[in-house]
Chain A
C-alpha cells in the first residue's frame, strides 16, 4: 500500500487492565477503500483494539494517526467527530424510537431551534435509499428485522463519521441472504473510499468480503496479510498458533454407531405443546448424541424447553427406565438427572457477577437443595477440578464469570452440569459466538462425555457440527419433527434435503 492511500495507522499500541496486558505493541493499518478483517481467538485483544480506535478505551502506549494527523479519541462521540464510526454486534440502536429518530439522534435538523421532523424524514429517506432501503422511516425501529436494523446502523455510522467504519461481528445474527445484502453494502462503501474494519468468527465471510486480514493472539500481533494469497489453513494456524489437529470427523465409522435397537431408557412420546412444537417422539440411549437440526424459528430451542420443563407439554408422556415422569419445571428435570445449556449464554446461562466457582456449583447446589449448602472448601475443590479438566482460562475460581471470554464461559456452564453427573445433557447452540479453538475443544468434550456413557442432545444451526458429533439427527421444520437420520445417513446433504422435502410438502 502506498503512503498516500493510508487512512488509519496505529503503531505500537499497548493497553493493560489492572496491570495485566491486553494489547502489547500492536500495529494496525487501514487504507482508503479497503475492507480489513480483524481476527483472533476470544481474548486475543480484538475488542480492546477496536475500543481504543473508537474512543471507548484510551491507549497506554503507541500512536494513532488518522489521515496523517495524530488523534486520541476521548469518547465514542469524539471518535465519530474525527471520522471513526462503529456498529456493534448487539445492534446499538434504540428500539423505542423511529428509524428517522435513530438516524438523526443527537444531530437532528433544526429550524428556529426546533427539531424539523419533516426535514429529518426527508433526509432519512434520502440516506436509506442510497442503501437500497425503501422503508417507512416513521415506523418504530423494533418493527424491522435485525438485518435492516444493521443496515440502518451502518447508514448512521457512515453518515456520522465518513472515514472509517468499524463492524464488530455484524453477521452473528443474520441468515445467509441477509449476510449477502450486508456485504453488498460494504463493498459499495469500500468502492466509495471508506476504510472498513470487520470482526467476525466466520472465515468464509472473511474470504468473501475482506481484502486484508490482521490476526491477533494473546494481545500480540501475529501478522497482517493480503487474503488473496493466504491459504485458509495458514490463516487458521495463525489464529490458533498451532497446526490444526484432527478435531472433527465427517462420517461415522459403523462400529462407532451405538446399538440403535433395544429399549432407550429416556423416552418422550407424543410430547408437544400447542403453538410451540407439534407432538414428537424422541428417545436417547446412554452414550448417544442426538442432534437437532432446523432453521431459525423451526422449534429447535422450543423442543429443548419442553424436554427440560421450562415449557409445559400439553400432550404426550416422558419416561425414564419405563417409569413415567412429570417435567413441570427445570427443578424437576434436574432432579431426574437432566442438564441444559441454553442458547443465550449471557442472559440465561451465566450469572455474571458470581465467581467462576459459584457458577459451577450452582446446579449441584440446586439439586442438593438449598438447605444443604456446599462448603466453600468443596466448592473450591470442585471448581479447581473442572478448571483443570476443561482447561478454563484464566484458571481462577474467584474471578467474576462475566470477565471470561465466551468459550470459557461456555466451558464453565458445561462444568456446572457435569458437576451434577447428569444422565441427559441438552446443549442448545453450544458453540455460538465461540472462537475456533474453543469450538474444537467443546466438540471434543461432547465426544468424550458420550464415550463415558452420557446421553446428549445437541441443538445446532451449524450442520457440520451436527454431522461431526451426532449419531442420530432429528430434523425440524415449521415447528414439527420431519425426519430422523441415523448413522451413515447423517450428512449435511441429507439434512438439507430433509429441510427441502418438507418445504415441498407444505
Chain B
C-alpha cells in the first residue's frame, strides 16, 4: 500500500529514473558503472552532510552551520596533520568529537533557551567559519601515507567503475541513517517531534535529549562530511563549501521530505543527491552548457516539489473533508 506520505519519494524516484533514461538516450556512455562510481564519489561529502540535514528537517528544524563546519573540519584536519604531525586517524577522531559537541551545544540552545533553530545555527555558521579562518586562510595541502592509502582504496566493479572509500562511506552513512530513522526509538521520536512537538512531549517523548541528539548527529555528520571533503580535495581550505547547507536542504526537499517536518525518508535524500549529481554529469557530458544550469534545474525542481507537497496536503485535506461530509 502506498501512503500519500510516501508519494513525494515515489515521485522523486520516478523523476530520477526518467531523467537518467533521458540522459542515456542522448549519451549512452552515461549508463556505465564508471559514471555511477564517480557520481557517488563526487557527491560523497554532500550526501553525508545531507543525511544529518534530513534528520534535522524531519524534526521540523534547520541546520545552517553545515557548510562552515565542513570548512572548519577540513582546515583543522589539514593543519593538525600537516603542521603538527598528528596521525590522521587521531585528527579525524578529534574533529568528530569537536563537531559533535558543537552540534549538541546548538541543540541544547534550541531546546533549553527556546531560540529558533534558524537563529542558533546561523550563529553556529558564523562561528565555525570564523574559527576556520582563524586556523588558516590559506589552502593547506595534506599528504600522509594513511590518507594516500584511503584515497587509493577502491573496489573495482564490473564495467570498469570504481567504488571508492568515500563512496562506500557515504553509502554506509545512508544505510545507517535509514536504519536510525525507521527502526530505532530515536528515529521514531524525531518523526514525532516533527509532527507536533507539543503533542510529542505530552505523549512522553523526551524532547530535550532528542533535540540535542538530532543536532549532535548533524554536527557529527558535518564533521564526517568535512573529513570526506578533505580526502576528496587532499587539502583544507577555510573558504570552501560556502552554501553547502543549502545544497543539502535542496537534496532533502527534492527527496520528498516535508520542510515543516514529520514526513520524509532518508532514502529520498539519497535520490535527491543523485539527481543533483546527475545534472552535473549531464553538463559535463554535454560540454557546452554552463555549470550554472545545475543551479537552474535544482531551482526548478525545488519549486516543483514544494508545489507538489502543497498539492498533497491540499488533496489529503480535501479527502478528509469529503469523508467527514459522508459521515454526516
A residues near B (Cβ < 8 Å) are 76-77, 80, 86, 88, 92-97, 101-102, 105-106, 108, 110, 113-115, 138-140, 142-143, 145, 156, 160, 175, 295-298
Contacts and interface: CB of A to CB of B under 8 A. Distances in A.
Interface stretch (B8-16, B33-41, B201-209, B269-277): B201-209
Given A97-B192, A297-B325, A140 B202 contact: no
A105 B203 contact: yes
B199 interface: yes
Interface majority SS (helix, strand, loop, mixed), chain A: loop
Given A88-B202, A115-B184, A96 B324 contact: no
Most A CB atoms within 10 A — which of B179, B263, B327?
A: B327
A86 B5 CA distance: 28
A146 to B, nearest CB: 9
B4 A140 contact: yes
Given A77-B204, A106-B205, A115 B188 contact: yes
Given A97-B191, A297-B325, A297-B328, A142 B316 contact: yes
Interface string B104-123: 00000000000000000000
A478 to B, nearest CB: 9
B327 A145 contact: yes
Interface string B168-182: 000000000001001
B184 A140 contact: no
A105 B207 CA distance: 13
Contact of A96 (B202, B263, B320): B263
Given A96-B5, A114-B184, A115-B183, A297 B324 contact: yes
B203 A93 contact: yes
A143 B320 contact: yes
A94 B185 contact: no
Interface of B: 1, 3-5, 179, 182-185, 188-189, 191-192, 194-196, 198-206, 262-263, 316, 320-321, 323-325, 327-328
Given A102-B203, A106-B203, 15 more contacts: A76-B204, A77-B204, A86-B202, A92-B198, A92-B203, A93-B203, A101-B188, A105-B204, A115-B182, A115-B183, A143-B320, A143-B323, A145-B324, A145-B327, A297-B328
A181 to B, nearest CB: 12
A467 to B, nearest CB: 22
A175 B182 CA distance: 37
B5 A140 contact: yes
Interface majority SS (helix, strand, loop, mixed), chain B: helix
Contacts, number: 89
B1 A138 contact: yes
- Shortest beta-carbon contacts, A-B, top 6: A96-B262, A77-B204, A96-B195, A94-B195, A114-B183, A92-B202
A95 B263 CA distance: 10
Given A76-B202, A77-B204, A295-B328, A94 B320 contact: no
Nearest to A141: B195
A431 to B, nearest CB: 21
Contacts of A110: 185
Contacts of A175: 328
B262 A94 contact: yes
A479 to B, nearest CB: 9
Nearest to A294: B328
Contacts of A113: 184
A105 B189 CA distance: 7
A76 B184 contact: no
A108 B188 contact: yes
Contacts of B188: 97, 101, 105-106, 108, 115
A416 B44 CA distance: 58
Nearest to B5: A140
B323 A145 contact: yes
7 contacts: A94-B199, A94-B262, A96-B262, A97-B188, A105-B189, A106-B188, A160-B204
B315 to A, nearest CB: 12
A80 B191 CA distance: 21
A160 B328 CA distance: 33
Contacts of A80: 204
A106 B320 contact: no
A40 B182 CA distance: 45
Contacts of B202: 76, 86, 88, 92
Contact of B203 (A94, A108, A114): A94
B328 A92 contact: no
A95 B199 CA distance: 10
A295 B324 CA distance: 12
B303 to A, nearest CB: 23
Nearest to A91: B199
Contacts of B320: 142-143
A198 to B, nearest CB: 18
A97 B182 CA distance: 12
Contacts of B325: 297
Nearest to B323: A145
Most B CB atoms within 10 A — which of A93, A96, A297?
A: A96
Contact of B192 (A105, A143, A145, A298): A105
A80 B201 CA distance: 12
A114 B194 CA distance: 21
A180 to B, nearest CB: 14
Contact of B204 (A88, A106, A139, A295): A106
